């Protein structure tokens, strides 16, 4: 690392690792419940487990993005973070808000809107927290010597993500309106502004790892984020087919969301092309695997598996079934979990000075978690297709169908165990690197 203040990133990444472990525990609780073992029902009912699972996911990803920004922005703008103390305060308050929300979910304290369960009073704390974060990042960037495209795209993604949180905080009496604006947060995040964050981090990693000229990488970055917004904004329509907002979205949403995979295809081709073009090969093999991995798996999980149910005629049958859960898992994993694990793998040796570049455990972590997650995706997919057929085609009762498909959740749990082994190894490697140290500074 070149700047002392970059060390802050380490602690955001450490928080990410902690929350990821908890997220997985709640995933198992739900997996077992689907299999018929709901012994925890009276203590942790399914809706609690689910809110915890998905909110921890979002918070650990955000913490990872923040850590990434705290590492990348000083390096790109050639300037120390304007206030390290404030950054630590922001970290601690993020952790506290997160913990209160998660504990609250166990006591029926929430706002039952999928993915936006954080109760309103805590929302305001989130807003303050994120404003502090953005304040630090934006002032560092604008006081710095350079404003690179990579850092601008990353910052733009973070600023827009904060702005888009706001439509989710409005109360509507009408469920249709509620859902309409909920998607401004959820969809425009994952299929819009978060892709800018992903693109920014990916560009940074490719510049560092492949040594390809910055101008070339950043040109393609613009093309990719251009494709993202052109398809993704109107693509929001794929959530408006069947919620009571008019027929125009069947056409607009159908066409534009079907174009969304192009941005992910762009990301995959971009990463592979830059890797092949680059002459200087960085010795950090593990970071390279995660970087290429995220570009490819996001195309499969978000692009292809998203396309699989985005056409209105298909979505009519798959809407709100386990088919959605199949896509949700591989998309979040490929695009956002893996990009966070990639930036962690790249930065850890730089922060701590310990060069574990191609350890067996590190590479196994990559393969086990990816194969495990692919297996889980298949299990969800098979269960989902069977559910769609039996429930929506044959017309069996929901509960009877769920009994028929229980067996697939056994497979899910087997694959989840493999996945968890991989994540366990990743976390083991994380802590093996030790703490960040000033000795790792490059003058």
Partner 1 sequence: MLSKSQAKLFFLGGTIVTFAVFLILSWTSLSNEVPKRTHEENLTPQVVRGKQIWEANNCMGCHTILGEGAYYAPELTKVYERRGEGYIKAALMSKTPWSPRGRKMVAYGFKEEDANDVVAFLKWIGETDLNGFPPKPDLKK
Q: Which is nearer to partner 1, 259 or 304 (CB)?
A: 259
Smallest distance from the beta carbon of 387 to partner 1, in angstroms? 8
Sole binder of partner 1 in the list 28, 35, 37, 45 (CB under 8 A): 45
Q: Which is nearer to partner 1, 9 or 413 (CB)?
A: 413
Q: What is the 3-state secondary structure (H, E, C) of the chain?
A: CCCHHHHHHHHHHHHHHHHHHHHHHHHHHHHHHHHCCCCCCCCCCHHHHHHHHHHHHHHHHHHHHHHHHHHHHHHHHCCCCCCHHHHHHHHHHHHHHHHHHHHHHCCCCCCCCCCCCCCHHHHHHHHHHHHHHHHHHHHHHHHCCCCCHHHHHHHHHHHHHHHHHHHHHCCCCCHHHHHHHHHHHHHHHHHHHHHHHHHHHHHHHHHHHHCCCHHHHHHHHHHHHHHHHHHHHHHHHHHCCCCCCCCHHHHHHHHHHHHCHHHHHHHHHHHHHHHHHCCCCCCCHHHHHHHHHHHHHHHHHHHHHHHCCCCHHHHHHHCCCHHHHHHHHHHHHHHHHHHHHHHHHHHHHHHHCCCCCCCHHHHHHHHHHHHHHHHHHHHHHHHHHHHHHHHHHHCCCHHHHHHHCHHHHHHHHHHHHHHHHHHHHHHHHHHHCCCCCHHHCCC
Q: Which is nearer to ligand HEM, 116 or 136 (CB)?
A: 116
Smallest distance from the beta carbon of 158 to ligand HEM, in angstroms? 16
Q: Which span (2-10, 47-55, 413-421, 429-437) binds partner 1, by CB under 8 A?
A: 47-55
Smallest distance from the beta carbon of 163 to ligand HEM, in angstroms? 19
Sole binder of partner 1 in the list 2, 146, 147, 403 (CB under 8 A): 403
Which of Fe ion, ligand HEM, partner 1, none binds 53 (CB below 5-8 Å, type-dependent)? ligand HEM
Smallest distance from the beta carbon of 309 to ligand HEM, in angstroms? 5
- List CB contacts of 9: < 8 A, sequence separation 6 or more: 67, 68, 70, 71, 347, 351
Smallest distance from the beta carbon of 362 to ligand HEM, in angstroms? 18
Q: Which is nearer to partner 1, 121 or 399 (CB)?
A: 399
261-277 vs 285-298: helix axis angle to the nearest 10? 150
Q: Which residue has the tokens 């928080």?
A: 15
Q: Which is nearer to partner 1, 182 or 433 (CB)?
A: 182
Q: Which is nearer to partner 1, 74 or 168 (CB)?
A: 168
Which of ligand HEM, partner 1, Fe ion, none binds 10 (CB below 5-8 Å, type-dependent)? none
Tell me: does residue 382 bind partner 1 (CB under 8 A).
no
Tell me: does residue 187 bind partner 1 (CB under 8 A).
no
Please count the other Cβ atoms lying within 10 Å of the Cβ belonging to residue 49.
24
Sole binder of partner 1 in the list 395, 439, 442, 443 (CB under 8 A): 395
Which of ligand HEM, partner 1, Fe ion, none binds 328 (CB below 5-8 Å, type-dependent)? ligand HEM
Which of ligand HEM, Fe ion, partner 1, none binds 306 (CB below 5-8 Å, type-dependent)? ligand HEM
Sole binder of partner 1 in the list 85, 276, 280, 393 (CB under 8 A): 393
338-352 vs 8-35: helix axis angle to the nearest 10? 140
Tell me: does residue 327 bind Fe ion (CB under 5 A).
no
Q: Which is nearer to partner 1, 12 or 240 (CB)?
A: 240
Smallest distance from the beta carbon of 239 to Fe ion, in angstroms? 6
Q: Which is nearer to partner 1, 236 or 347 (CB)?
A: 236
Tell me: does residue 147 bind partner 1 (CB under 8 A).
no
Sole binder of Fe ion in the list 34, 53, 182, 187 (CB under 5 A): 187
Which of Fe ion, ligand HEM, partner 1, none binds 27 (CB below 5-8 Å, type-dependent)? ligand HEM
Tell me: does residue 430 bind partner 1 (CB under 8 A).
no
Q: Which span (191-199, 270-278, 325-333, 390-398) binds Fe ion, by CB under 5 A?
A: 191-199
Reading phi first (left if > 0) and then psi (alpha if -120 to 50, else beta), residue 244 is in left
Tell me: does residue 394 bind partner 1 (CB under 8 A).
yes
Sole binder of partner 1 in the list 2, 96, 175, 428 (CB under 8 A): 175
């Amino acid at each position: 690392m070149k700047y002392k203040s970059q060390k802050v990133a380490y602690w955001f990444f450490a928080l990410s690792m902690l929350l990821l472990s908890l997220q997985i525990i709640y995933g198992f609780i739900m997996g077992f419940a689907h299999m018929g073992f709901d012994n925890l029902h009276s203590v942790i009912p399914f809706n609690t487990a689910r809110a915890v699972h998905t909110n921890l996911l979002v918070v650990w990803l955000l913490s990872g993005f923040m850590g990434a920004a705290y590492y990348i922005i000083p390096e790109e703008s050639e300037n120390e973070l304007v206030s390290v103390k404030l950054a630590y305060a922001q970290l601690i308050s993020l952790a506290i808000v997160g913990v209160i929300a998660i504990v609250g979910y166990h006591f029926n304290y929430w706002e039952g809107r999928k993915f936006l369960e954080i109760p309103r009073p805590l929302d305001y704390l989130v807003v303050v927290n994120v404003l502090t974060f953005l304040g630090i990042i934006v002032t560092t960037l604008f006081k710095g010597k350079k404003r690179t495209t990579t850092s601008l795209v990353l910052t733009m993604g973070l600023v827009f993500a904060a702005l888009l949180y706001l439509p989710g905080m409005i109360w509507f009496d009408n469920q249709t309106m509620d859902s309409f604006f909920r998607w401004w947060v959820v969809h425009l995040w994952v299929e819009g502004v978060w892709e800018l964050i992903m693109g920014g981090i990916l560009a940074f990693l490719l510049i560092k790892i492949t040594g390809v000229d910055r101008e070339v990488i950043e040109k393609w970055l613009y093309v990719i984020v251009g494709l993202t917004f052109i398809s993704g904004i109107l693509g929001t329509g794929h959530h408006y087919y069947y919620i009571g907002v008019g027929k125009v979205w069947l056409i607009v949403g159908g066409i534009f969301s079907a174009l969304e995979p192009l941005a992910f295809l762009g990301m995959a081709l971009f990463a592979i092309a830059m890797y092949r073009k680059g002459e200087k090969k960085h010795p950090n093999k593990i970071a390279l695997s995660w970087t290429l991995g995220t570009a490819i798996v996001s195309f499969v999980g978000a692009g292809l598996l998203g396309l699989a149910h985005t056409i209105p005629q298909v979505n009519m049958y798959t809407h709100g079934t386990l088919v959605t859960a199949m896509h949700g898992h591989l998309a979040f994993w490929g695009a956002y979990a893996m990009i966070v694990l990639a930036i962690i793998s790249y930065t850890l040796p730089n922060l701590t000075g310990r060069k574990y570049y191609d350890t067996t455990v590190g590479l196994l972590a990559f393969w086990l978690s990816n194969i495990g997650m692919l297996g889980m995706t298949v299990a969800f997919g098979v269960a989902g297709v069977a559910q769609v057929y039996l429930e929506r085609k044959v017309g069996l009762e929901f509960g009877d169908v769920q009994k028929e498909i229980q067996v697939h959740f056994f497979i899910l749990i087997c694959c989840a165990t493999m996945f968890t082994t991989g994540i366990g190894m990743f976390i083991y490697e994380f802590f093996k690197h030790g703490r960040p140290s000033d000795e790792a500074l490059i003058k």
